[in-house]
Structure 1
Amino acid sequence: MMDIATASPSPEFRRERRAAASLSSHWLGLVLEELDYGVLLLNQRGAVLHSNRAARQTMDAQYPLQLLGGQLRARSAKDIKPLYEALAQAEGEGRRCLLRLGEGSEQANVVVVPLNRDVEQAAVLLVLERRQLCGALAAQWFALRYGLTPAETEVLKALSDGHEPSSVAQSQGVAISTVRTQIQSIRAKSGAPSIRELLRQLAVLPPLMSALYN
């Protein structure tokens, strides 16, 4: 008589497991697409196993990293060695690190995270920094939550992008006093006692991509 404990899984059971694994991978891919952080999954040679929409949008012509033929490449020669050393150490030794790549105003921080626990094949996760305090969708949610006017919403987005009130006024073609009044209104509606607190509230909003990209 066959021992039930050592019996091989039935074909139907194996099919169900494969289907469940495929569905889980699909869900995970959808989750990553919604995040407003650029995320890439690589092996130690720089081959891209997965990249989400935020990562592809972040890596424009000025970004210190680029995708070429399914491979992640550093644009600057000085970044090549640090990048590949970080990938190799992450996959082979389980080391995580923070890389500072690029030069001048185009510098960018990249977090390198090993994914080597309880897996048959190790991989490396790269998380790219956001270029703005919060995404357009998060700012829009904030504006709707507190009943901001369209003009106030534009000021809010400009502040979250790092612009000073004077530059906001100049870009919108209004007086600086108008922008200051709008900022006071935003603070009053959101309960933020200062611009710093207002920006803090924006910074902790969930990092989700805009629905416009879906």
Structure 2
Amino acid sequence: MNVTAPASPVPRHDAPPEALQAGLLARVLDEIDHGLLLVDLTGRLLHANRPARRELAGGRALREVDGMLATALPAWQARIRQALKDAERDCRSIVELDAEGEPLTLAFVPLAMHHGSATVDTVLIMTSRRSTCETLTMQMFARAKHLTPAEQAVLTQLCAGRGAQEIACLQGIRVSTVRTHIKNVRQKTGRGSVREIVRELSRMPQIVSALRLVGSD
């Protein structure tokens, strides 16, 4: 008679402690290319990931004043207050701030955090990305497609929305040279147009460089 040996018990992995979970979550949020701010209904800052902290430190559109989310212009502050009021009614909203010709879009998402028997009303604010493509993502893409440094530089400018004439002026080269680089990029990537390449890059995971300078937040 054949006797089947009992299956080996599945190893049990205990959940990490809450402090470790919070630390891991903070690191995950820092790797997201969009700025993420967590505030309460009064606008008090509860958490900000790395891109959001850079945005606040720059002070171009958003800033932190005494622990509160503030804006560069009073009119913008009124939009923030209205969005928080909408969030209190469980309504999502979009706010656009035209800062120095480069709009910053904010998405307000109401959340409810449960802590024991209490419920803390919070709002997640997601900011638009400042760049079309992260530098490290571009570098990895260029290496995979065997682009030269000059071709990568032109592609980076194309992703920023610049045309051949503007790229030529910025880099101090002829327009014909820029167009040659564009032609080479299209051939090496196998794409029929620059638009296809830019769209592909924008949809790639935006990898943030692990080599960060101390104090770069």
TM-score, normalized by the shorter chain, greater than 0.5: yes
TM-score (norm 1): 0.83
Amino acid of the residue matched to residue 101 of structure 1?
A: L
Q: Which letter maps to 2:107?
A: V
Whole-Å Cα distance in 2 between the matches of residues 193 and 102 of structure 1?
34
Q: 1:103 to 1:23 in 2, by over 3 A?
A: closer
Q: Distance in 2 between matches of 1:25 and 1:211?
A: 20
Amino acid corresponding to residue 38 of structure 1 in structure 2 = G
Q: Which structure has more strand as a fraction of its residues?
A: 2
Whole-angstrom distance in 2 between the partners of 1:153 and 1:211: 21
Q: Which has the higher helix share?
A: 1
Counterpart of 1:49?
46
CA drift at 1:104: 6.0
Q: Are the aligned partners of 1:41 and 1:124 in contact in 2 as well (CA < 8 Å)?
A: yes
Matches within 5 A, 1:154-173: 154-173=153-172
Deviations 1:37-86 (A, max 9, x none): 11111111111111111112234656322122321102111122220121
How has the CA–CA distance of structure 1 residues 31 and 94 changed in structure 2, closer, same or farther, with 3 Å as cutoff? same
Partner of 1:67: 64
The count of residues paired between Structure 1 and Structure 2 equals 197
Q: Structure 2: any 5+ residue segments left out of the alignment?
A: 1-13
- How far apart, in 2, do the equivalents of 1:49 and 1:206 lie? 27
- CA 1:55/1:117 → structure 2, altered by over 3 Å: closer, same or farther? closer
Q: Is the Cα–Cα contact under 8 Å of residues 62 and 69 in structure 2 kept in the other structure? A: yes
TM-score w.r.t. length of structure 2 = 0.82
Q: Report the counterpart of residue 24 of structure 1 in structure 2.
A: 21
Match of 2:47, SS? strand
Over the matched positions of the two proteins, sequence identity in percent amounts to 34
Equivalent residues of 2:136, 2:207 under 8 A apart: yes
